[in-house]
């Protein structure tokens, strides 16, 4: 008997469907089976265990154990933490508009946001929190104080603050408001003819705010030679806002990003919807190791479509998309549902969470497995490791003495003293600390503990530890001690050796007192190596075009 090829084909298809159905039913059976076991296990444990077990704590531990098998972006969000989720999406939270730092028993105000309730009440950086709503703040943990400062808009916070110089204590009545952290922290002209926009997060309407900043720069400076979009340290946010921002410089109907996940009906392509504001102005996007997610979508689109250059350091490498799903009792599941892909088709996810080593740790995608793609103009780019800059700038590492002075709050404390001793100063772009004032800072440090170990000393101690473990140290002890003596650092010499760096940090902190937030950024631009490299490229059209792979 002859069997037709068509019959065989349909039979095979039917078998495939049956096997698929069996596989799915097996999976759902295993889920149901293990949920029944889990519920029964907890019921028996709770009934017969000799001590009472807190149910909420126990369940949260179970959830945390499940989350260990996922990536770090998948998370359980209980009702009491929904404000954090809201802040990530909107940039808004209920509170007083200030940052704090706890050192020992006391907590000080470190930043006051312009226009915030704290700003309106006359609170200044350096003020020390004495009490909150009648409760003594001495010895309180920083997270506890932060929790009290936050609250629903319209509610009242009564606090007592101590002046950092005079010690005078003053009561303040603060009415909490909806605090909206600005996604565009600075926009202005640098080096005479280059526009600069600093963007800190991708929250609701942030793309529109960047567009308004850019259009304002163009209106006030018709001879603009280029624009620097600074996404360094920007952790990302809303994917749609990344598309909106890209649309400022990339024309209508261009693919910016696509997403692909387990639920195929959720796969999407995101294209620009409007004509570009400016398709031709030279553009540089600055990235750093902490530029992630939506920042990388923008940088990847600009790079893949050859619309501009990426300058700085390789970005973080987060190519995953999260969605929130509702859970009972107003809780939420923030879950990774897809990977995203840049216009060239690459996923820039740097860590592979699908495979783990014996310790359960996920690792970076090795260079040998990174695939090559090409930009619209044919330039080679790779997946699996963030966005690599077209022009790399080595990151600047602070000296150990500078790190210690920051950590110990001595730079902050000196800036407070300087502010109250100088009622007025020059604009941030013109301000410099004099030699006499730096000498005053040195005197301020006299008697203060800012001891530290240099990286060389730490490396030498590491060598000693290994030598002792391998039983080589006894034969090397004299040479080791001689080398240790030679390397012993002098704090005062380190202070002078790194004077320029420390002076810059002081100037930035001082400017932040007179021109909140903006002063620190504007002053820092004066010696920013990444910005210098970006401006140099924008001032060299031939080099700019060469890196884009284009000929003039």
Rounded Cα distance, 470 and 144, in Å = 47
> In the structure encoding, which two tokens stand for residue 93, read together?
């939270």
**What per-residue confidence (pLDDT) applies to 250?**
98
Q: 102-117 in b/e burial notation, b at 16+ Cβ within 10 A?
A: beeeebbbbbbbeebb
**What per-residue confidence (pLDDT) applies to 448?**
86
**What per-residue confidence (pLDDT) applies to 509?**
97
**What per-residue confidence (pLDDT) applies to 487?**
63
- The more confidently predicted of residues 278 and 476 is 278
pLDDT in tens, 43-63: 999 999 999 999 889 889 999
pLDDT in tens, 122-158: 999 999 999 999 999 999 999 999 999 999 999 999 9
Where does residue 338 rank: exposed (0-12), middle (13-18), buried (19+ CB within 10 A)? buried
- Boundaries of every domain in the chain: 92-180, 184-395, 400-533
**What per-residue confidence (pLDDT) applies to 7?**
41
**What per-residue confidence (pLDDT) applies to 521?**
95
> In the structure encoding, which two tokens stand for residue 374, read together?
């090409």
In sequence order, the β-bridge partners of residue 169 are: 162
> In the structure encoding, which two tokens stand for residue 43, read together?
């019921």
Rounded Cα distance, 183 and 30, in Å = 46
Predicted confidence (pLDDT) at residue 6 exceeds the cutoff of 50? no
Residue 499 neighbours by CB under 8 Å, 6+ apart = 438
**What per-residue confidence (pLDDT) applies to 484?**
72
Predicted confidence (pLDDT) at residue 360 exceeds the cutoff of 80? no
Q: How many CA atoms lie within 13 A of 530 on its CB side?
A: 27
CATH topology of domain 92-180: Pdz3 Domain (2.30.42)
Predicted confidence (pLDDT) at residue 5 exceeds the cutoff of 80? no
> Among 187, 188, 208, 182, which residue's Cα sits nearest to residue 273?
208
Is the Cα torsion angle 495, 500, 505, 506 positive or negative in sign? Answer: positive
pLDDT in tens, 151-190: 999 999 999 999 999 999 999 999 999 999 899 999 999 9
Report helix, strand or coil for 410.
Answer: helix
For residue 319, report the phi and psi dihedrals to the nearest 5 degrees: -110, 30
Which of the four pLDDT bands, split at 50, 70 and 90, describes residue 25?
Answer: low
Q: Cβ(376)–Cβ(382) under 8 Å?
A: no
**What per-residue confidence (pLDDT) applies to 456?**
76
**What per-residue confidence (pLDDT) applies to 28?**
81
**What per-residue confidence (pLDDT) applies to 552?**
56
Report helix, strand or coil for 312.
Answer: strand
Q: Cβ(337)–Cβ(324) under 8 Å?
A: no
**What per-residue confidence (pLDDT) applies to 488?**
64
Quick check: do 92-180 and 184-395 share a fold?
A: no
Predicted confidence (pLDDT) at residue 21 exceeds the cutoff of 90? no
Q: Cβ(435)–Cβ(444) under 8 Å?
A: no
Predicted confidence (pLDDT) at residue 17 exceeds the cutoff of 50? no
> Among 82, 79, 110, 96, which residue's Cα sits nearest to residue 178?
96
Predicted confidence (pLDDT) at residue 500 exceeds the cutoff of 60? yes
- The more confidently predicted of residues 15 and 250 is 250
> Among 409, 404, 405, 402, which residue's Cα sits nearest to residue 110?
409
DSSP track, 161-225:
EE-TTT--EEEEEEE-EEEE--SEEEEEEETTTEEEEEE--B-TTHHHHHHHHHHHHHHH-TT--
**What per-residue confidence (pLDDT) applies to 15?**
44
Report helix, strand or coil for 493.
Answer: helix
Which of the four pLDDT bands, split at 50, 70 and 90, describes residue 437?
Answer: very high
pLDDT mean over 417-438: 96
How many C-beta atoms lie closer than 10 Å to residue 366's C-beta? 10
**What per-residue confidence (pLDDT) applies to 9?**
41
pLDDT mean over 500-508: 97
Q: How many CA atoms lie within 13 A of 172 on its CB side?
A: 27
> Among 72, 69, 43, which residue's Cα sits nearest to residue 58?
43
Predicted confidence (pLDDT) at residue 10 exceeds the cutoff of 50? no
- pLDDT above 90 covers a percentage of the chain that reads 73
Which of the four pLDDT bands, split at 50, 70 and 90, describes residue 24?
Answer: low
Rounded Cα distance, 273 and 258, in Å = 15
H or E element at residue 335:
strand 332-341
> In the structure encoding, which two tokens stand for residue 45, read together?
């444990």
> Among 92, 127, 104, 106, which residue's Cα sits nearest to residue 237?
92
DSSP track, 17-34:
HHHHHHHHHHHHHHHHHH
Which of the four pLDDT bands, split at 50, 70 and 90, describes residue 367?
Answer: confident
Predicted confidence (pLDDT) at residue 390 exceeds the cutoff of 90? yes
**What per-residue confidence (pLDDT) applies to 18?**
45
> Among 294, 277, 275, which residue's Cα sits nearest to residue 213?
277
Q: Cβ(266)–Cβ(318) under 8 Å?
A: no
pLDDT mean over 529-534: 97
Rounded Cα distance, 311 and 301, in Å = 14
Residue 463 neighbours by CB under 8 Å, 6+ apart = 480
Which of the four pLDDT bands, split at 50, 70 and 90, describes residue 524?
Answer: very high
**What per-residue confidence (pLDDT) applies to 23?**
56
pLDDT mean over 311-323: 96
Report helix, strand or coil for 309.
Answer: strand
Largest CA distance in the chain: 106
**What per-residue confidence (pLDDT) applies to 407?**
92
pLDDT mean over 417-430: 95
- pLDDT above 70 covers a percentage of the chain that reads 94
> In the structure encoding, which two tokens stand for residue 546, read together?
């060469």
Q: How far is CA 544 from CA 246, 259, 360, 537, in A?
A: 20, 31, 44, 6
Q: Cβ(343)–Cβ(376) under 8 Å?
A: yes
CATH topology of domain 184-395: 2-enoyl-CoA Hydratase; Chain A, domain 1 (3.90.226)
Where does residue 353 rank: exposed (0-12), middle (13-18), buried (19+ CB within 10 A)? middle
Predicted confidence (pLDDT) at residue 397 exceeds the cutoff of 60? yes
Q: Cβ(283)–Cβ(222) under 8 Å?
A: no
């Amino acid at each position: 008997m002859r069997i037709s090829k068509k019959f065989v084909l349909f039979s095979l298809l039917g078998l495939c469907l049956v096997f698929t159905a069996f596989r799915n039913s097996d999976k759902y059976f295993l889920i149901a089976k293990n949920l029944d076991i889990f519920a029964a296990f907890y019921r028996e444990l709770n009934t017969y265990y000799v001590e009472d077990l807190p149910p909420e704590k126990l369940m949260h531990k179970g959830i945390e154990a499940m989350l260990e098998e996922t990536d770090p972006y998948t998370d359980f969000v209980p009702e009491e933490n929904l404000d954090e989720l809201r802040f990530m999406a909107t940039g808004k939270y209920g509170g007083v508009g200030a940052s704090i730092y706890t050192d020992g028993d006391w907590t000080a105000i470190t930043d006051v946001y312009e226009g915030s309730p704290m700003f309106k009440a006359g609170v200044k950086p350096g003020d020390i929190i004495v009490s909150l709503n009648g409760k003594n703040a001495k010895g309180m943990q920083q997270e506890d104080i932060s929790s009290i400062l936050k609250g629903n808009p319209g509610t009242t916070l009564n606090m007592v603050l101590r002046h950092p110089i005079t010690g005078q204590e003053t009561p303040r009545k603060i009415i909490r408001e909806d605090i909206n952290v600005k996604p565009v922290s600075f926009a202005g002209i640098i080096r005479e003819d280059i526009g600069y926009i600093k963007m800190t997060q991708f929250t609701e309407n942030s793309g529109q705010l960047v567009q308004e900043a850019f259009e304002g720069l163009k209106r006030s400076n018709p001879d603009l030679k280029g624009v620097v979009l600074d996404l360094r340290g920007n952790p990302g946010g809303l994917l749609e806002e990344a598309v909106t921002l890209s649309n400022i410089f990339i024309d209508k109907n261009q693919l910016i990003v696509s997403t692909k996940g387990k639920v195929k009906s959720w796969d999407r392509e995101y294209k620009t919807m409007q004509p570009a504001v400016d398709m031709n102005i030279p553009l540089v996007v600055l990235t750093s190791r902490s530029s992630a997610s939506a920042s990388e979508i923008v940088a990847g689109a600009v790079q893949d479509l050859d619309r501009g250059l990426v300058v700085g350091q390789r970005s973080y490498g987060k190519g995953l998309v999260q969605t929130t799903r509702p859970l009972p009792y107003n809780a939420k599941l923030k879950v990774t549902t897809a990977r995203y892909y840049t216009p060239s088709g690459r996923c820039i996810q740097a860590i592979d969470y699908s495979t783990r080593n014996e310790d359960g740790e996920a690792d970076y995608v090795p260079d040998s497995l990174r695939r090559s793609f090409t930009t619209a103009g044919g330039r080679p780019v790779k997946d699996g490791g963030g966005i690599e800059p077209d022009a790399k700038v080595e990151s600047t590492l602070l000296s150990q003495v500078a790190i210690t002075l920051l950590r110990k709050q001595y730079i902050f404390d000196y800036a407070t003293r300087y502010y109250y001793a100088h009622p007025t100063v020059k604009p941030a772009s013109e301000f410099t600390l004099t030699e006499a004032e730096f000498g005053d800072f040195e005197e301020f440090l006299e008697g203060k503990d800012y001891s530290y170990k240099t990286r060389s000393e730490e490396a030498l101690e590491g060598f000693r530890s290994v030598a002792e473990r391998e039983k080589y140290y006894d034969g090397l002890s004299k040479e080791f001690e001689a080398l240790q003596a030679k390397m012993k650092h002098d704090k005062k010499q380190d202070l002078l050796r790194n004077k320029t760096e420390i002076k810059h940090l002081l100037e930035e902190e001082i400017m932040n007192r007179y021109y909140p937030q903006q002063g620190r950024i504007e002053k820092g631009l004066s010696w920013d190596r990444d910005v210098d490299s970006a401006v140099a490229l924008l001032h060299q059209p031939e080099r700019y075009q060469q890196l884009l792979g284009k000929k003039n």
